């Protein structure tokens, strides 16, 4: 018979076997359960995926450039070869090609751009009476002289101190010594003859004395009409920066307003932009510009061609702009003399206008004298009179050069050039 110990051993073995079997069954059941789990919902399509879909409508810009350069195009990436199956949510509307895409991919080649519109030709206003219209500009800068004079003269007595102050004021306005002396002597004489004058009487005398100095009898017409069977020729000279090219442009406008046919000659070949500047001025009023495309071209040759063009085209006037700066003064004067000589092989020069900057005062006068030695000046265009209180330069320049101021510049606007009117000038100074 088996002992109790043996019985316990048998029971222990059976328990171990049963527990091991149970463990095996549980393991199997859990493993099968994991395999049969429901599929996990994929994450919503990323933003990147949408973008990529849209991009398939758009030819790569780099590819286009590469093709046009003739280089071998890189094989298309799989994503570019075929649109990817849509990975967007069903409710997302399909991506439409943008108008730009449509043009690039399917539209026929774009129609040629319309021809640029013809630049509009301006019709400038007549320059008659322009100085009276611009009088306020002149008065703004120059009436200090007039006011100063009238204040001094309206005192209780007219003694030496008063006359000295009048002299200083006139000299300060660049009238020059001779004109100043003549004006003061004239006033003193009238006071001696008439006795103590009223303020109005003094103002009237001052007006007359100043006007006499500005010399209203000078011929200020510009030679801009055909002479016999040829155009008039106007040569414009002056130091660079005085406003020479601008003045030629403004003068062309003045003449167009008078129904003149004008040709411009860009003989300032020293400064590269001068021809462009002139051409722009001319273009605005339908006036052609003869120029050279070569920087530093022979200015005399350009001037010659301009005059020839004017003759062939039977225009009224040819205006030749010249250089105002060279490496040295002698070179500039030699060049101007040459331009003049070459023009005169075809036609007399009817007008030689010197452009002077009124703000440069006595310095401008020295320039004027140098130019006068190289060419025969027939008139002066005094620019920037709006920016100086030294309007007396009008008197000085006429006295020194013996030629009239024919034009005055009173601003930077295209129509700020006026035929000089002595009475309007004196009126503005004594305003």
Residues that bind ligand GTP (CB under 6 A): 238, 240-246, 268, 271, 274, 324-325, 383-384, 386-387, 409-412, 416
Q: Rounding to the nearest 10 degrees, give the CA dihedral for residues 175, 354, 382, 244.
A: -150
- Closest to ligand GTP by CB, 146 vs 243, is 243
Least distance CB 347 / ligand GTP (angstroms): 24
Nearest approach, Cβ of residue 246 and ligand GTP (Å):
3
Measured from the CB atom, the residue of 416 and 421 that comes closer to ligand GTP is 416
Contact (Cβ atoms closer than 8 angstroms) between residue 300 and residue 293? no
Nearer to ligand GTP, 50 or 338 (CB): 338
Which residue's CB is nearer to ligand GTP, number 347 or number 383?
383
Contact between 411 and 138 under an 8 Å Cβ cutoff? The reply is no
**Ramachandran quadrant class, 135 (left: phi over 0; alpha: psi -120 to 50; beta: rest):** alpha
Question: Which residue lies nearer to ligand GTP by CB, 403 or 410?
Answer: 410
Q: Which residue is nearest to ligand GTP (CB)?
A: 409
CB-wise, 143 or 383, nearer to ligand GTP? 383
Q: How far apart are the first and last CA of the chain?
A: 156
Q: H-type helices in 345-421, by residue range?
A: 361-374, 393-401
Distance of closest approach, residue 259 Cβ to ligand GTP, in angstroms: 25
Q: Whole-angstrom Cα distance, residue 9 to residue 6?
A: 5
Nearest 5°: the CA angle 56, 61, 67 is: 110
Environment class of residue 80 by beta-carbon count within 10 Å: exposed (0-12), middle (13-18) or buried (19+)?
middle
For ligand GTP, the closer CB: 187 or 374: 374
Cα-only R_g, the chain: 46
- Helix orientation angle between 199-214 and 177-194, rounded to the nearest 10 degrees: 140
DSSP class of 115: P
Segment holding 275, helix H or strand E: helix 272-284
Residues 6+ positions from 122 with CB-CB distance below 8 Å? 253, 284, 285
Detail the residues annotated as belonging to a binding site.
238-245, 321-325, 383-386
341, 346, 347, 352 alpha-carbon torsion, rounded to 10°: -30
CB of 80 to ligand GTP, least distance (A): 57
- Which residues have C-beta within 8 Å of that of residue 4, sequence separation ≥ 6? none
Provide, rounded to whole angstroms, the least separation between the CB of residue 371 and ligand GTP. Answer: 13
Which one, 263 or 358, has the nearer CB to ligand GTP?
A: 358
Write out the binding residues for GTP: 238-245, 321-325, 383-386
């Amino acid at each position: 018979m088996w002992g109790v110990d043996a019985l316990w051993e048998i029971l222990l073995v059976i328990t171990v076997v049963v527990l091991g079997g149970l463990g095996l069954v549980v393991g199997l059941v859990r493993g099968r359960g994991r395999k049969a789990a429901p599929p996990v919902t994929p994450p919503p399509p990323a933003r990147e995926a949408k973008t990529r879909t849209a991009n398939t409508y758009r030819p790569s810009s780099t590819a286009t450039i590469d093709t046009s350069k003739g280089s071998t195009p890189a094989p298309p990436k799989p994503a570019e070869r075929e649109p990817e199956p849509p990975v967007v949510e069903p409710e997302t509307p399909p991506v439409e090609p943008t108008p730009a895409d449509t043009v690039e991919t399917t539209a026929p080649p774009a129609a040629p751009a319309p021809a640029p519109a013809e630049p509009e030709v301006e019709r400038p206003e007549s320059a008659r009476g322009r100085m009276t219209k611009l009088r306020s500009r002149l008065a703004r800068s120059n009436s200090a002289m007039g006011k100063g004079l009238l204040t001094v003269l309206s005192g209780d007595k007219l003694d030496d101190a008063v006359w000295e102050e009048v002299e200083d004021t006139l000299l300060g306005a660049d009238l020059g010594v001779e004109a100043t002396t003549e004006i003061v002597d004239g006033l003193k004489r009238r006071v001696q003859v008439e006795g103590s004058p009223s303020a109005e009487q003094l103002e009237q005398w001052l007006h007359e004395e100043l006007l006499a100095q500005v010399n209203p009898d000078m011929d200020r017409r510009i030679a801009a009409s055909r002479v016999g069977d040829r155009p008039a020729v106007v040569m414009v000279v002056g130091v660079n920066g005085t406003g020479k090219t601008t003045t030629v442009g403004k003068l062309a406008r003045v003449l167009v307003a008078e129904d003149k046919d004008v040709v411009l000659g860009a003989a300032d070949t020293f400064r590269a932009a001068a021809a462009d500047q002139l051409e722009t001025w001319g273009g605005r009023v339908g006036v052609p510009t003869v120029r050279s495309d070569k920087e530093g071209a022979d200015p005399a040759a350009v001037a010659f061609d301009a005059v020839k063009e004017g003759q062939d085209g039977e225009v009224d006037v040819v205006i030749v702009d010249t250089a105002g700066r060279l490496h040295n003064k002698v070179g500039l004067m030699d060049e101007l003399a040459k331009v003049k000589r070459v023009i005169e092989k075809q036609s007399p020069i009817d007008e030689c206008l010197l452009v002077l900057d009124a703000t440069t005062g006595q310095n401008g006068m020295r320039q004027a004298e140098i130019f006068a030695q190289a060419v025969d000046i027939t008139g002066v265009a005094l620019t920037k009179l709006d920016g100086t209180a030294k309007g007396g330069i009008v008197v000085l320049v006429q006295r020194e050069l013996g030629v009239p101021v024919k034009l005055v510049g009173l601003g930077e606007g295209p129509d700020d050039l006026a035929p000089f009117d002595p009475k309007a000038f004196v009126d503005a100074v004594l305003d």
